[in-house]
Amino acid sequence: MKTPIRLQQIAWTLAACAFSAVAAAADAPPGKPLFTTRCGMCHQTNGMGVSILSRRPADASKGLLEARDDLSAEFVYVVARMGTGNMPRISRAEVSDEELREIALYISRGKP
């Protein structure tokens, strides 16, 4: 009769993991999960966007958008919608206006 006990242990472990994931998502600043899923491939560590932004101007601290404090939400929104340099424009079909506003506020740390 070890099987039912083992299944119960697995069920409790999965429940604890699910609770932890929900708690972590609740602690994340608004926009961070969207930034991670929609922008992270290029704009998080080792992304192509990080490498390119680090070279313009030659300042490695400008590469990671999440680490910057000099971007306004409006600037982030416009650049994402219009595209710039190597970054293609992001259409409303890819990221809704509401999602992009959340991402822009996250990157700008609330600066309009």
Token digits of residue 46: 């080792």
Claim to verify: residue 101 and residue 52 sit in the same structural domain: yes
Claim to verify: residue 53 and residue 85 sit in the same structural domain: yes
- Nearest-5° Cα angle at 84, 32 to 43: 30
CB 41 within 8 A of CB 72: no
CB 72 within 8 A of CB 108: yes
| Backbone φ, ψ for residue 87 (5° rounding) | -85, 125
Instruction: Indicate if the pLDDT at residue 90 is higher than 60.
Output: yes
Which residues form the domain of 15? 1-29
3-state DSSP assignment of residue 85: coil
Instruction: Indicate if the pLDDT at residue 49 is higher than 70.
Output: yes
Claim to verify: residue 47 and residue 4 sit in the same structural domain: no
Claim to verify: residue 47 and residue 23 sit in the same structural domain: no
Instruction: Indicate if the pLDDT at residue 22 is higher than 50.
Output: no
Claim to verify: residue 39 and residue 23 sit in the same structural domain: no
Single-letter code of the amino acid located at 89: R
Query: How much is the pLDDT for 17?
Result: 54
